[in-house]
């Protein structure tokens, strides 16, 4: 049940969420669920491929409900994470073949300023 609550929270927030945001969402309707339980379930869900762990951004672990092939853009100013729907087919083969790697997964993030922060910086 707790695993389902955490997964439902990630999906219902429909954005790139921190573990703390998921905990607050779950806690609002189920205050008996501990922070440790939420964090553990997030880790398990990511390991099982039901959500994607993007990594630590701005000091917080960030998760994505979208497990489809896509990349991310992280704004250095506001720390928001955006989906980048462009995908480079064959990239894993280009990386793996020359050195004989066996790639089991990958993530790619771009960094810079989002449109809003870029405009604000130019004012």
- In tens digits, the chain (123 residues) has pLDDT values of 899 999 999 999 988 999 999 999 999 999 999 999 999 999 999 999 999 999 888 888 999 999 888 899 999 999 999 999 887 888 888 899 999 999 887 788 899 999 999 999 998
Mean pLDDT, the chain, rounded, equals 92
CATH 3.30.1490.190 residue window(s) in the chain? 71-122
Q: Is 38 exposed, middle or buried (0-12, 13-18, 19+ CB in 10 A)?
A: buried
What is the fold of 71-122?
Dna Ligase; domain 1 (3.30.1490)
Characterize the bridge pairing of strands 17-18 and 60-64. Answer: antiparallel
If phi > 0 it is left, if psi is from -120 to 50 it is alpha, else beta; for residue 101 that is beta
pTM for this prediction: 0.81
CATH 1.10.10.10 residue window(s) in the chain? 2-64
Question: What is the architecture, at CATH level 2, of domain 2-64?
Answer: Orthogonal Bundle (1.10)
């Amino acid at each position: 049940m707790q695993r389902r609550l955490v997964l439902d929270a990630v999906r219902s927030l429909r954005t790139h969420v921190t573990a703390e945001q998921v905990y607050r969402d779950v806690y609002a309707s189920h205050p008996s669920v501990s922070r440790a339980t939420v964090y553990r379930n997030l880790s398990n869900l990511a390991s099982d491929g039901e959500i994607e762990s993007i990594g630590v951004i701005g000091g917080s672990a960030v998760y994505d409900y979208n497990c489809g092939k896509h990349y991310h853009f992280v704004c250095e100013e506001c720390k928001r994470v955006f989906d980048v729907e462009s995908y480079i087919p064959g990239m894993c083969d280009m990386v793996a073949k020359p050195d004989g790697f066996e790639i089991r997964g990958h993530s790619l993030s771009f960094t810079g300023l989002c449109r809003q922060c870029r405009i604000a910086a130019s004012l």
